[in-house]
Amino acid sequence: QNRAMPDYLSGLNPEQREAVETLDGPVLVLAGAGTGKTRVLTTRIAHILATGKAFPSQILAVTFTNKAAREMKERIGVLVGGAVEGMPWLGTFHSIGVKLLRRHAELAGLRSDFTILDTDDVIRLIKQLIQAEGLDDKRWPARQFAGMIDNWKNKGLTPKDIPEGDARAFANGKGRELYRAYQDRLKTLNACDFGDLLLHPIAIFRDHPDILKDYHGKFRYILVDEYQDTNTAQYMWLRLLAQRPKGVPQNVCCVGDDDQSIYGWRGAEVDNILRFEKDFLGARVIKLERNYRSTEHILGAAGHLIAHNEGRLGKTLFTDRSDPDDEKVQVHAAWDSEEEARAVGEEIERLQRGDADGKKHALNDMAILVRASFQMREFEDRFVTLGLNYRVIGGPRFYERLEIRDAMAYFRLTCQPADDLAFERIVNTPKRGLGDTTVRTLHDYARARDIPMLAAASEIIETDELKPKARKALFDVIQSFRNWQERLEKIPHIELAEQILEESGYTDMWKNDKSAEAPGRLENLKELIRSMEQFESMRGFLEHVSLVMDAEQNEDLDAVSIMTLHSAKGLEFDTVFLPGWEEGLFPHQRALDEGGRSGLEEERRLAYVGITRAKRRCHIWFVSNRRIHGLWQSTMPSRFLDELPAHHVDVAASESNYGGYGGRGGYGQSRFDKADPFANTYSTPGWKRAQANQTNATRDNWGTRSGHAVERIGYGESGPRTRTIEG
Residues that bind Mg ion (CB under 5 A): 37-38, 570
Q: Between residues 37 and 626, which has the closer beta carbon with respect to Mg ion?
A: 37
Q: Between residues 75 and 521, which has the closer beta carbon with respect to ligand ATP?
A: 75
For position 316 contacting ligand ATP by CB under 6 A, the verdict is no
Q: Which residue of the set 432, 471, 613, 626 is catalytic?
A: 613
β-pair partners for 127: none
Residue 675 annotated as part of some ligand binding site: no
Find, among 567, 43, 602, the residue nearest to 288 by Cα: 43
Among ligand ATP, Mg ion, none, residue 39 binds (CB under 5-8 Å by kind): ligand ATP
Determine whether 144 is an active site residue: no
Residue 37 annotated as part of some ligand binding site: yes
Cα 250–chain centre separation: 30
For position 39 contacting ligand ATP by CB under 6 A, the verdict is yes
**DSSP assignment letter at 567:** G
d(CA 45, CA 75): 10
Among ligand ATP, Mg ion, none, residue 292 binds (CB under 5-8 Å by kind): ligand ATP
Q: Which residue of the set 225, 258, 296, 655 is catalytic?
A: 225
| CB of residue 571 to Mg ion, shortest distance in Å | 8
Among Mg ion, ligand ATP, none, residue 585 binds (CB under 5-8 Å by kind): none
Find, among 428, 431, 454, 433, the residue nearest to 442 by Cα: 454
Q: Which residue of the set 16, 17, 38, 414 is catalytic?
A: 38
Instruction: Give the one residue of 11, 86, 173, 354 binding ligand ATP; rule: CB under 6 A.
Output: 11
Find, among 72, 29, 71, 15, the residue nearest to 252 by Cα: 29
Determine whether 613 is an active site residue: yes
Instruction: Give the one residue of 292, 318, 475, 535 binding ligand ATP; rule: CB under 6 A.
Output: 292
| CB of residue 30 to Mg ion, shortest distance in Å | 13
| CB of residue 557 to ligand ATP, shortest distance in Å | 22
| CB of residue 561 to ligand ATP, shortest distance in Å | 15
β-pair partners for 576: 367, 618
Burial (CB < 10 A; 0-12, 13-18, 19+), residue 33, is buried
- Kind of pairing, strands 366-370 and 329-336? unpaired
Instruction: Give the one residue of 20, 33, 167, 334 binding ligand ATP; rule: CB under 6 A.
Output: 33
For position 13 contacting ligand ATP by CB under 6 A, the verdict is yes
Q: Between residues 286 and 545, which has the closer beta carbon with respect to ligand ATP?
A: 286
Determine whether 119 is an active site residue: no
Instruction: Give the one residue of 26, 34, 303, 595 binding ligand ATP; rule: CB under 6 A.
Output: 34
For residue 191, report the phi and psi dihedrals to the nearest 5 degrees: -140, 165
d(CA 311, CA 303): 15
For position 12 contacting ligand ATP by CB under 6 A, the verdict is yes
- Find the part of the chain contacting ligand ATP (CB under 6 A) among 31-39, 147-155, 194-202, 557-565: 31-39
Helix (H) or strand (E) holding 449, with range, is helix 436-449
For position 595 contacting ligand ATP by CB under 6 A, the verdict is no
Burial (CB < 10 A; 0-12, 13-18, 19+), residue 58, is middle
Q: Which residue of the set 260, 295, 352, 414 is catalytic?
A: 260
Q: Between residues 236 and 568, which has the closer beta carbon with respect to ligand ATP?
A: 568
Q: Which residue of the set 17, 37, 471, 569 is catalytic?
A: 37
Residue ranges of alpha helices (H) inside 532-628 are 538-547, 589-611
Contact 174, 133 (CB under 8 A): yes
Q: Between residues 270 and 460, which has the closer beta carbon with respect to ligand ATP?
A: 270
Residues 114-153 that bind ligand ATP (CB under 6 A): none
DSSP assignment string, 276-318: HHHHSTT-EEEEE-B-SSS-HHHHHHHHHHHTTSSS------B
Return the number of other C-beta atoms located less than 10 Å from residue 244's C-beta. 11
| CB of residue 44 to ligand ATP, shortest distance in Å | 12
Contact 138, 186 (CB under 8 A): no
d(CA 624, CA 332): 11
Residue 31 annotated as part of some ligand binding site: yes
Find, among 217, 285, 204, the residue nearest to 245 by Cα: 217
Helices 196-207 and 209-218 cross at an angle (nearest 10°) of 110
Residue ranges of alpha helices (H) inside 157-219 are 164-168, 175-188, 196-207, 209-218
For residue 618, CA distances in Å to 18, 278, 575 come to 32, 39, 6
Q: b/e per residue, 577-614, with b = 16+ CB within 10 A?
A: bbbbbbbbbbbbbbbbeebeeebbbbbbbbbbbbbbbb
Among ligand ATP, Mg ion, none, residue 566 binds (CB under 5-8 Å by kind): none
Cα 323–chain centre separation: 35
- Find the part of the chain contacting ligand ATP (CB under 6 A) among 10-18, 171-179, 366-374, 706-714: 10-18
| CB of residue 63 to Mg ion, shortest distance in Å | 9
DSSP-based three-state secondary structure for 633: strand
Instruction: Give the one residue of 300, 570, 584, 587 binding ligand ATP; rule: CB under 6 A.
Output: 570
Residue ranges of alpha helices (H) inside 453-492 are 453-460, 468-487
DSSP-based three-state secondary structure for 649: strand
| CB of residue 483 to ligand ATP, shortest distance in Å | 50
Among Mg ion, ligand ATP, none, residue 44 binds (CB under 5-8 Å by kind): none
d(CA 473, CA 467): 10
Residue 203 annotated as part of some ligand binding site: no
Determine whether 38 is an active site residue: yes
Instruction: Give the one residue of 15, 121, 257, 550 binding ligand ATP; rule: CB under 6 A.
Output: 257
Residue 256 annotated as part of some ligand binding site: no
| CB of residue 61 to Mg ion, shortest distance in Å | 13
Q: Between residues 42 and 337, which has the closer beta carbon with respect to Mg ion?
A: 42
Q: Between residues 36 and 201, which has the closer beta carbon with respect to ligand ATP?
A: 36
| CB of residue 75 to Mg ion, shortest distance in Å | 12
- Find the part of the chain contacting ligand ATP (CB under 6 A) among 6-14, 182-190, 425-433, 499-507: 6-14
Among ligand ATP, Mg ion, none, residue 12 binds (CB under 5-8 Å by kind): ligand ATP
Instruction: Give the one residue of 19, 26, 28, 35 binding ligand ATP; rule: CB under 6 A.
Output: 35
d(CA 390, CA 407): 26
Q: Between residues 39 and 200, which has the closer beta carbon with respect to Mg ion?
A: 39
Q: Determine the straight-line distance between the first and last CA of the chain, rounded to whole angstroms.
A: 55
Determine whether 230 is an active site residue: no
For position 432 contacting ligand ATP by CB under 6 A, the verdict is no
| CB of residue 30 to ligand ATP, shortest distance in Å | 10
For position 566 contacting ligand ATP by CB under 6 A, the verdict is no
Return the number of other C-beta atoms located less than 10 Å from residue 116's C-beta. 20
- Find the part of the chain contacting ligand ATP (CB under 6 A) among 9-17, 191-199, 272-280, 320-328: 9-17
Among Mg ion, ligand ATP, none, residue 588 binds (CB under 5-8 Å by kind): none
Residues that bind ligand ATP (CB under 6 A): 11-13, 16, 31, 33-39, 257, 260, 292-293, 570, 572
Q: Which residues are annotated as a binding site for ATP?
A: 31-38
Catalytic residues: 37-38, 225-226, 260, 613
